[in-house]
Structure 1
Amino acid sequence: MAHARKTTHSRKTAAGKKTSQRRSTARKSTTRTPKRWSQRVTKESDALDLKRGVFKLTSAKKIAASLKRSAEHSERRKTGAYRSALSMLTFYINRAGKTLPRTQRERLEKAKVELKRAFGRE
């Protein structure tokens, strides 16, 4: 009766010694998936279709304007434009955590205020 073990093969190395090598039963996926789930959420979320690099912009007003434009034109969002834009901005800040540089965090926090102003919710 045959055993249900992974087969082990030997191969010769450049020095002529034999090494054992196991055959892997798992196959690698051919589609490229994001490394982190938060990266996938940012790209594929039903909240918004974001402009590439929106959170890297140099001005809080530009970030807020881009988020507003994306939220208003998005066909995939499930709630109001303001709520979608603010939640995506908050999500980005929270997921970046301690790795987000202080200057960028301050810029993004100012973008929240600008977003409220842009939607007339001061």
Structure 2
Amino acid sequence: MATRKAPAKKSAAKKSVAKKSPAKKSTTPPSRRWSAKVDTDSTHPDHELFLQSAPKIAKALADKRVSPKGPASGMRMLNFYINRAGKNLSKERVATLERAKELLSKIIAKSKEKTPAKKSAPKKAAKKSASKKLPSR
């Protein structure tokens, strides 16, 4: 008679819960970080600018002091604010900000009319290189 082996029992493995590791603290002192050296606020709009009227918002965002790269930079700031606020904006605020976008786009169009596009220098034709003929054998 052959002896039969009993089926192996499945062991109940203990579920271990992964412990959250504490957040790593920076070893660099705050005074040595690059962000401590930033001293310009040229691209920061005035406090509560987006709570003002549409013409004031558009005029401020077109100003070189707020957006030194031009009014298009101000348009990006306004779009970022609208997208970031999302559903937290009331319908009235959204309407005001959309009106500010329209006014700002008109300012951008006017600034493009004033400064014509720079004409690039005419392109020179590529020089043809003299190809050497190989002697036939």
Query: Normalising by structure 1, what TM-score?
Result: 0.52
Could you give the per-residue CA deviations for residues 71-99 of structure 1, whole angstroms, max 9, x where no partner exists? Answer: x1258x5xx31221000000000010011
- Report if aligned partners of 1:50, 1:67 keep a CA contact under 8 Å in 2: yes
Matched-pair contact (CA < 8 Å) for 2:60–2:66:
no
Q: What root-mean-square deviation, in Å, do the aligned CA atoms of Structure 1 and Structure 2 show?
A: 3.1
List alignment gaps of at least 5 residues for structure 2: 1-21, 31-40, 114-137
The reply on whether 1:48 has 2:43 as its aligned counterpart is yes
Residue identity in the other structure for 1:104: R
User: Which has a greater percent of strand?
Assistant: 1
2:54 alignment partner, one of 56, 60, 76: 60
Q: Which runs of 4+ in 1 moved over 6 A?
A: none
Equivalent in the alignment of 2:87: 98
Q: Which residue of 2 aligns with 1:34?
A: none
* 1:89 corresponds to: 78
Rg (Cα) greater in structure:
2
TM-score by length of structure 2 reads 0.47
> How many pairs align?
77
**Which protein has the bigger helix share?**
1
Query: Which of 1 and 2 has higher RCO (CA within 8 Å, sep 6+)?
Result: 1
Q: 2:102 maps to which residue?
A: 113
What is the identity percentage for the equivalent residue pairs of Structure 1 and Structure 2?
Answer: 37
